Amino acid sequence: MASSNTEKKLQGHDSIICIPSSKKIQVLRGRLYDGRLVAVKFLHDCKGNGDEFVNEVMSIGRTSHVNVVSLFGFCLEGSKRALIYEYMPNGSLDKYIYSENPKEILGWERLYAIALGISRGLEYLHHSCNTRIVHFDIKPQNILLDQDFCTKIADFGLAKLCHTKESKLSMTGARGTIGFIAPEVHSRTFGVASTKSDVYSYGMMHLEIVGGRRNVKSIVENSSEKYFADWIYDHFAQDDGLQACEITREMEEIARKMTLH
C-alpha cells in the first residue's frame, strides 16, 4: 500500500469524472507513470478520525478479486485524504438501469452477467477474503463497470470487518442508503446485522436491475402502490411479474433466472 508519496507518481489529472456518492467528494481521472489510468477520490471535510477513509483503506486494502475494485494507493497529508483506484471507463451501474430502457442498452444477458458478478464479489467478501468484510452500502451507484462491463464492487466507506467465523456485528447506528438498508441494520428489533445485511441490499438492488426503476419514490401510474418491492411481489403473486417488467417471451428464461437469483 502506498503512502502520501503516491501523489507524486501521478502525471496529473486529465479530466473530472462523476462517481455518485452520498458524501462530499471529488473524483479526478489521472495516469500513473507506468501508463495505468486511475480514479483519484478526494475526501473533503474529513472530520474526527476520518472513519470513512480508514474504513476504505483497511477493508479494500485486504481484497484481491476480479469483482472488487482495486485500490492502488492512498494519500494522507494533514486533513488531505485521497484514494487511488483503478479507473472504470463505463462508470457506475445506476446510469444504465435508471435509463429509459436499460434492457436495450445492456441487454438481458449482460444484465444477468453483471448481477452474477456482484454476487460473486459479495461471496468473496463474506466468505473467501482473509478477513470477512460486510459492505453495508450495496447499491447501483457503488457498482462500477470496466471496459468489458465486468462488475466491480466499490466504495467501502461504511464497511465493517468481521473476525474469522464471526457472522454477527455490533452496530452503533444505522448505515447505508434508504431503499437498500436491511431492517436489522436500521433497528435491532429485526435481529442483528451480519453478512446477510448485504444480501438483503443485493436483493433490493436486483429488483432495480430487473425492473429498471428505483425502489424508493417509484409510483405506479394511476395506483396507490408506491414501494417497488411490494409492487413487484404483488405482480409475481399474480404470475405476471415478468410481463410487468416488459420482458419479452424470448428473454423470459434469462430474466426469470435473474428474478430468482
Q: Give the active site residues.
A: 137
Report how far residue 140's alpha carbon sits from residue 96's, in angstroms, rounded to the nearest whole number. 9
Grid cell of 2 as nine digits? 502506498
255: amino acid identity, one letter: A
Grid cell of 250 as nine digits? 424470448
119, 121, 226, 233, 248 from 256: Cα distances, Å? 16, 22, 23, 14, 11
Contact predicate 10/40, CB 8 Å: yes
